[in-house]
A and B are shown apart, each in its own frame.
Chain A
Amino acid sequence: MIIARHFWHVVLVSVTLAFVLVGPLKSATVSGRVVDGQTKEPLPGVRVALVGTGKGAISGLDGTFLIKSSSQAQCRLKFTYSGYRDTTLQLDLASDGNLSGIEVGISRLTGKDQEVIITGSVDHGSDASSQQAVRVSDNVINTVSARTIEVSPDVSVADVSQRLAGVSIARTSVGDAQYAIIRGMNKRYNYTTVNGIKIPSPDNKNRYVPLDIFPSELLDRLEVTKSLLPSMEGDAIGGAMNLVMKHAPNREILTAQVASGYDGLFFDRKFATWDATSSNRSPRVENGDAYKATLGAFPISYFTPHNVSPSPNIYSALTYGNRFGENEEFGMILSGTYQSSSRGANTVFFQTDVAQDAVMPIPTDLELRTYSTLQQRSGLTGNLDYKLDDNNSLTLFGMYARLNKQELRTDYDTTVSLGYPKSIRLTTTIRATDEQQGIGNFTLGGTHKIFGKDLEANWNVAYSSATLNQPDRSELQLYGGSEFDSASGLYKNNPNIVNHGTRRWTYSIDQDKSVYLNLKTTEDIGGTPIVLTYGGMYRNKARTSSYDEYKLEANNGSTIQYYNGDITKDTFYVANPLGTPQDFLNYDAHENIAAGFGQAKVQIGNLTVIGGVRFEQTTFGWTSQIDPNLYDGKTGELTYLDVLPSLSLKYSPSEQQNWRASFFKSISRPGFFEVIPNQGVPGDDYTEYTNDSLNRTQAMNFDLRWEYFPGGLDQLLIGGFYKHLQDPIEYAVEYVKTSVLLRPQNFGDATNYGFEIDFRKYFSDFGVQGNYTYTNSQITTDKQVKYRDTDPAQTLRTRMEPQTRPLEGQSAHIGSLGLLYKNFESGTDAQLSAVYTGPAITAVSFYKDLDVWQKGYVQLDFSGEQRIAGNLTLYLKISNLLDAAHDEVIHYTYDPKNYGNSPMSSQVAGQDVLVRHELFDRNYILGLRFKL
């Protein structure tokens, strides 16, 4: 349409004068609002000078400014803002010397001097107010901008995601946000893109991408798309998380920041670490299948952790961007960041079993765990763009993000005696995990207007890779405990004896090669312009996973290996020097997706209709480690076609309001590992199988939203959604004759509906923003019930019964509330933000009604910054102010009478049975930021 035709008139500069209600003014003031001339987005922090008077102001959070003027017939206002062209306006004042309600649009600095200053008439109640990305979008999205991220306490993109309406997060063992749960749909139902290009996952079994890999500083914007258009990949049911990385600015920029911090947990205890010196690849992968590993391949340092005071955390970032060339046709930006932090958690964990003939959890072990995790997060992103001419431009984007974790976990596991405390077993497990995850992406793209600018072509060629490397995850297990000595009436401690160690290498690489081509034309059909977009993509994915686990047996066969604190005195032998080449995590998989779509956009009056359909043809194949002489399924291939229609309606009765309704169909593909056949892996309780007849999940999604933009950056979004899922995937046990197997399965239908409210309101220097989402999902799956049969023998049996519950990870209530203060004059910025996550299932039990629920909790974070010199800002971030506990329970009331009449540590009579109680403490960051 018109916008499209003028799309390459990159510089659209307008100064619109408009009346905006800013309340009654008393005397001789000039007031108004300053906005981006193109996007109409209010600009906070613009210096507004009343020329010739020395008076001025800085626009507030909502872009408003107010200057006390001396009465003159006319005044000249000069607007100065970094990245924008200086703009001066001559204005007539009212007879009393006042001028109010003007809206001034200023233009971005660009290479071409094409600015047009349009001076409109002063118009009371103008609807020429802000238009935000959310507002002009064709579909339902929510965003967080770089500026919001900068002043937030967030360190990784996963942290940022929890600020979005309808998003809750799953955390790591040390309490850091890791995965996004969108509208109660767990990670499996969402995908992640970088600048719109889907990226692979480093996970060696699944598709979903851990968001804690990405440092937040690389972002220009984080978007979550909740309704898909045909032009988007169709395998998101909850939503698609798009990381929009920094792009080349319009003028030279340089920002640098450095900060340090400390985790409050380590005020109270030491940080455990070890020397991680093992080889990057397993002895087998490095030396071939016939290679017999010797003890030399397994450094003993992994079994000998030592305590240190953690070095202070470091957070640093550097960004440089500029534009070159005669016409500034060449732009670049390079941004790098490095973070190193020592994190931890203290955990009480109960292992639970189930009673033999009742729906009742039985704690069997009480584990006390401490985690010490060193996280090193680094990221590099670069973006080059080159404008050949008005019709042709090219971009080259590169990104690499890496997260290294070194985690030491000590676990003291004591048996729960249930009234028979004559002997107490203690198993000590020391686990050292060295893990590196990396995600990289290179995208070359172009936009061309051809055939007299009537056809716009947009193409991208992308290479992405994701790697997971866990070199030598080590575990050492010691047996100890005490026995009651009837002679003395005392407990006698038994010495610790080394049981065994395991050493595990995990490696996975997933590589995508993709091409995308989209074409856009505008056709005039019966006088109505229709924007047609069609295109296609093809992606080849290749994934390789390797896995080896070596068992180091203590030499107890010859001499008992007592542990006296010095493991080097003990001796081991390698029980399986060849590794585990036949483990099912050694596999190759490929997936080719060919997709095409067509999409039409029509505007009829205030109604915008976008409809279309997407076709995705998926070909998935594998080669597994299964023995082809014995079993089916060594190799396999599966092809299917999806037809994914989508329809979005947007009705805008006024500039301040949008009504949206949308429908789309989408899918979610099973994880790679889940469908590759295996012959059954003996697990703790069940033999675990994969499921090669697992279907992808298909969903019908409906959205309704009302958007209200009363002015400025203020907004109120109220929406509802309904999803119907066919074949959702859940892990469940299954009875095959008399065997009970565990495997991923499709479970009929599930529904998920809810509503969201998202609001933001600014009062000059103050702002408040918040969101609330109610979600109600239901899925019915078969669960086990143990019971005693009424047959003459009263046999203990297990039957399957359906249980209806929410989807894993779905909280009925989630919400966030943020209070902001920003004073541009003094350069002060402060933010207090709270996120509430309501109860949700974190582990689905295989037994009926015994799911593990995380209790609701509030995370409260503070961040504040103060400009201390021209370009220098000092900032402070404190996360988890309330030291919120992460508690998990089973909904079964604890009564000591049911548990051998002996009170259990940490369990409280009359409350739900506790499964996990975890504390992370507060995290402090103090830093300096330099901005040119």
Chain B
Amino acid sequence: MSSSTATTFSVFASNFDYLTNPFDMKLLDKMYTRTLTLSAVFVATLVMTGTLLFSGCSSTTTSPVVSTKLTQVGNLITSDTLKGAMKGTLATGHTYYLVSDLIIPRGDTIVMQPGAKIIVLNTSPGSTTAPEITLLGTFASLGTKDKPNYITIDPSQQTYTNLPLGNWAGIQGDTGSGDLILKWTHIEYGGAQDRLGKNNYIIWFQSQNHNFILEDSWITGGQDDAIRVSGGHVSCMRNTFECGGYKGGDAFNVKSGTVGDIAYNVFMGAPTNGPKLSNKGGSTVQTNCNIYNNTIINCGWRQYQVGRSGSTNIEEGARGTEYNNLIVNCRTGLRLFNNPLADTAHVFYDAQFYYASRDNIRDDAASFGGFYPGDGIQVHMPLDVAGGTRQNDPQFVNYDVNKFAGLDSAFVQKSTMSRWTEDMTRVAGYDLHLKTSSPAVGKAFVGPAPVQIPMRACPQGGDFGANTIGLGRDFGAFQSDGTGNQH
């Protein structure tokens, strides 16, 4: 087919050389004297075209010639400066300076050994130009309890006021990235604007067939969602989320295509929810996560839309479980949304432990202690602990659950929204372990659940595997037997 077209064109082109110079009168002259010849050629062309036409052929379809990506030459990570496309290992005990976007190319890997540190330079509070880590390949930060890793900003800029403003642009993965593994790692002062000028997530993972393992880490600060997962296998275990969501968002916002376990985390003062599940977005894999044994405090007070929940939430075609979460002074309790509807037939929940320091924290609904949001379709479950105001104090080792109960607090009026404060969002300095006398100890649900908990969607064990643990017998993240959250 293509050859016949080419032939036709070459015959044709010879007749149309004047196209290159339409005003050349000599050519016109020549044209006229050649009229008869032309006519003959023209008839021939007609015949050929007819042949083309009736033989069902048509002109060819050509693929475009696109430019190929510029070849990247990876720097050896012997330098203490990180920028551009790199791969290799960041050595233990070393500090590296990220000066502009660090790109981990597809197929490449960067590993941070325990005790390595990245300081992001060229940052400023609320920056729109600060560097990011662009994740196309794989990134593994393998901190340990003794040698945690850091990705943070210059110590001179590390102030609480800078914390929620977003100082560097975080770790931004694309839809085809490799794994993202963060263990015992402090991710601080992230959440500035991404390269498109649109999002402010500290971490955006969206690679459905890869693993996002976030364990024993600290996600501190940020303007919007601390973490958004738009697809992937997830093990989000024993982390602390604090001081985030300056302008709104959820702490761990899960969209379509994400499966895994979210457990033993502390979510302090998230604007809307701590963990939230939705199946919204472009995946054929249904969102399905287990959310259990999380400690969720002071959440929901900065969601300005009426009725949006304020602790943990499942909506829009997502399925999953919610067990053993310790929900303290949140704007609402667990919410199962009806429009767009969660996959309610496959959402299993029970045994949330609620505490409210003031009446109006729990005035949304008349029944069952009033912890449940009015536009949700969740119901009170047998193992839920939901009493009256100041009933069922969970008895944290060092955290006054009534500290914001005063008349000047954000809780006074539900319709009067709070703003970001260090007090309401900070974990550091408190001990959220439960006293042995706590009513939350030993009463949690340990199974069997209607579905498998934990799911263990990520490979388990080893440097690059997850350490996913199951339901704990105490409500919340900290277990009296020493398991659970290790912070």
Chain A contacts to B: CB under 8 angstroms: 292, 353, 355-356, 362, 364, 415-427, 450-451, 454-455, 457, 459, 479-487, 492, 494-495, 497, 499-500, 515, 517, 519, 521, 523, 525, 530, 532, 534, 536, 538, 549, 551, 553, 556-560, 573, 575-583, 594, 596, 598, 600, 611-613, 615, 617, 627-643, 645, 665, 675, 677, 679-682, 685-687, 692-693, 695, 698, 726-727, 733, 735, 737-742, 786, 793-798, 900
Contact between B197 and A640, CB atoms less than 8 A apart:
no
Highest count of chain B CB atoms <10 Å: which of A424, A612, A645, A675: A645
Highest count of chain B CB atoms <10 Å: which of A353, A483, A627, A735: A483
B228 to chain A minimum Cβ distance, whole angstroms, is 10
> Would you list which residues of chain B between 230 and 253 have a CB under 8 Å from chain A?
230-231, 246-248
B415 at interface, CB cutoff 8 A: yes
Contact between B174 and A356, CB atoms less than 8 A apart:
no
Give Cα A740–Cα B281 distance, bound, in whole angstroms.
Answer: 8
Q: 1/0 per residue B262-303: CB within 8 Å of A? A: 000000000000000001111111101000000000000010
A418: which of B16, B19, B85, B338 is its contact (CB, 8 Å)? B338
Contact between A633 and B374, CB atoms less than 8 A apart:
no
B53: which of A486, A645, A685 is its contact (CB, 8 Å)? A645
Give chain A residues whose Cβ lies under 8 Å from the Cβ of B65. 636-638
With A685-B280, A686-B281 given, is the CB distance from A737 to B58 under 8 Å? Answer: no
Q: 1/0 per residue B409-434: CB within 8 Å of A? A: 00000111111100000000000000
Contact between A459 and B22, CB atoms less than 8 A apart:
yes
B304: which of A364, A497, A553, A639 is its contact (CB, 8 Å)? A497
Give chain B residues whose Cβ lies under 8 Å from the Cβ of A580. 196-198
B155 at interface, CB cutoff 8 A: no
Residue of B nearest to A574 (CB): B128
Chain B contacts to A: CB under 8 angstroms: 5, 8-9, 12, 15-16, 18-19, 22, 28, 31-32, 35-36, 38-39, 42-43, 45-46, 49-50, 52-53, 58-70, 72, 84-85, 103, 126, 128-129, 134, 136, 164, 174-175, 193, 195-200, 208-209, 230-231, 246-248, 257, 279-286, 288, 302, 304-308, 316-317, 319, 338-341, 343, 345-346, 363-366, 370, 373-377, 414-420, 451
Highest count of chain A CB atoms <10 Å: which of B198, B306, B373, B416: B306
With A645-B50, A735-B284, A741-B282 given, is the CB distance from A425 to B305 under 8 Å? Answer: yes
Contact between A534 and B70, CB atoms less than 8 A apart:
no
With A643-B59, A686-B281, A695-B61 given, is the CB distance from A532 to B42 under 8 Å? Answer: yes
With A532-B35, A534-B38, A796-B319 given, is the CB distance from A738 to B285 under 8 Å? Answer: yes
B362 to chain A minimum Cβ distance, whole angstroms, is 10
Per CB-CB distance, the 8 closest pairs between chain A and chain B, nearest first, are: A422-B374, A423-B307, A481-B306, A740-B282, A638-B64, A486-B366, A576-B197, A686-B282
Give chain B residues whose Cβ lies under 8 Å from the Cβ of A637. 64-65
Give chain B residues whose Cβ lies under 8 Å from the Cβ of A481. 305-307
Give Cα A562–Cα B307 distance, bound, in whole angstroms.
Answer: 17
Give chain B residues whose Cβ lies under 8 Å from the Cβ of A578. 128-129, 197
Contact between B59 and A641, CB atoms less than 8 A apart:
yes
Give Cα A500–Cα B246 distance, bound, in whole angstroms.
Answer: 13
Residue of A nearest to B285 (CB): A738
Highest count of chain A CB atoms <10 Å: which of B103, B200, B419: B419
Contact between A556 and B9, CB atoms less than 8 A apart:
no
Give Cα A485–Cα B366 distance, bound, in whole angstroms.
Answer: 9
Give chain A residues whose Cβ lies under 8 Å from the Cβ of B136. 630
Contact between A738 and B257, CB atoms less than 8 A apart:
yes
Give Cα A553–Cα B166 distance, bound, in whole angstroms.
Answer: 14
Highest count of chain B CB atoms <10 Å: which of A523, A534, A627, A726: A534
Contact between B15 and A596, CB atoms less than 8 A apart:
yes
Q: Could you name 7 residue pairs across A and B whose Cβ atoms are closer than 8 Å?
A: A355-B341, A424-B306, A523-B36, A558-B419, A560-B418, A600-B39, A900-B339
Residue of A nearest to B8 (CB): A643
Give chain A residues whose Cβ lies under 8 Å from the Cβ of B418. 560
Highest count of chain B CB atoms <10 Å: which of A416, A484, A579: A484
Residue of B nearest to A581 (CB): B197
With A580-B196, A598-B42, A739-B282 given, is the CB distance from A692 to B306 under 8 Å? Answer: no
A486: which of B36, B42, B370 is its contact (CB, 8 Å)? B370
Contact between A479 and B306, CB atoms less than 8 A apart:
yes
With A560-B416, A583-B196 given, is the CB distance from A523 to B307 under 8 Å? Answer: no
Give chain A residues whose Cβ lies under 8 Å from the Cβ of B285. 738
With A519-B31, A532-B42, A687-B282 given, is the CB distance from A425 to B306 under 8 Å? Answer: yes
With A638-B62, A639-B62, A738-B208 given, is the CB distance from A356 to B45 under 8 Å? Answer: no
Contact between A523 and B376, CB atoms less than 8 A apart:
no
Contact between B164 and A557, CB atoms less than 8 A apart:
yes
Give Cα A364–Cα B377 distance, bound, in whole angstroms.
Answer: 16
B52 to chain A minimum Cβ distance, whole angstroms, is 6
Residue of B nearest to A416 (CB): B339
Residue of B nearest to A479 (CB): B304
With A483-B306, A560-B419, A900-B338 given, is the CB distance from A692 to B317 under 8 Å? Answer: no
Residue of B nearest to A687 (CB): B282
Contact between A556 and B304, CB atoms less than 8 A apart:
yes
Contact between B345 and A794, CB atoms less than 8 A apart:
yes
Give chain A residues whose Cβ lies under 8 Å from the Cβ of B60. 640-641
| Beyond known contacts A596-B15, A737-B209, A739-B282: 10 more, CB 8 A cutoff | A483-B307, A495-B415, A557-B247, A580-B196, A598-B42, A629-B84, A629-B85, A630-B136, A685-B280, A726-B58
Give chain B residues whose Cβ lies under 8 Å from the Cβ of A613. 45-46, 49
Give chain B residues whose Cβ lies under 8 Å from the Cβ of A582. 195-197
With A636-B66, A693-B63 given, is the CB distance from A557 to B280 under 8 Å? Answer: no
Contact between B420 and A483, CB atoms less than 8 A apart:
no
With A521-B35, A573-B126 given, is the CB distance from A423 to B419 under 8 Å? Answer: no
Give chain B residues whose Cβ lies under 8 Å from the Cβ of A643. 5, 8-9, 49, 52, 58-59
Give chain A residues whose Cβ lies under 8 Å from the Cβ of B66. 632-633, 635-636, 677, 692
Give chain B residues whose Cβ lies under 8 Å from the Cβ of A695. 61
Give Cα A427–Cα B281 distance, bound, in whole angstroms.
Answer: 22
Contact between B305 and A483, CB atoms less than 8 A apart:
no
B452 to chain A minimum Cβ distance, whole angstroms, is 10
Give Cα A362–Cα B60 distance, bound, in whole angstroms.
Answer: 44
A615: which of B12, B72, B283, B345 is its contact (CB, 8 Å)? B12
Give Cα A118–Cα B373 distance, bound, in whole angstroms.
Answer: 93
Give chain B residues whose Cβ lies under 8 Å from the Cβ of A680. 174-175
Residue of A nearest to B52 (CB): A643
Contact between A560 and B12, CB atoms less than 8 A apart:
no
Give chain B residues whose Cβ lies under 8 Å from the Cβ of A634. 67
Residue of B nearest to A625 (CB): B196
Give Cα A698–Cα B5 distance, bound, in whole angstroms.
Answer: 15
B436 to chain A minimum Cβ distance, whole angstroms, is 36
B161 to chain A minimum Cβ distance, whole angstroms, is 10
Give chain A residues whose Cβ lies under 8 Å from the Cβ of B31. 519
Give Cα A735–Cα B175 distance, bound, in whole angstroms.
Answer: 13
Give chain A residues whose Cβ lies under 8 Å from the Cβ of B200. 575
Give Cα A737–Cα B284 distance, bound, in whole angstroms.
Answer: 8
Give Cα A639–Cα B197 distance, bound, in whole angstroms.
Answer: 34
Contact between A485 and B417, CB atoms less than 8 A apart:
no
Contact between A536 and B19, CB atoms less than 8 A apart:
yes
Contact between B197 and A517, CB atoms less than 8 A apart:
no
Give Cα A454–Cα B36 distance, bound, in whole angstroms.
Answer: 13
With A426-B306, A557-B246 given, is the CB distance from A733 to B282 under 8 Å? Answer: yes
Contact between A640 and B61, CB atoms less than 8 A apart:
yes
Give chain B residues whose Cβ lies under 8 Å from the Cβ of A583. 196-197
Contact between B340 and A362, CB atoms less than 8 A apart:
yes
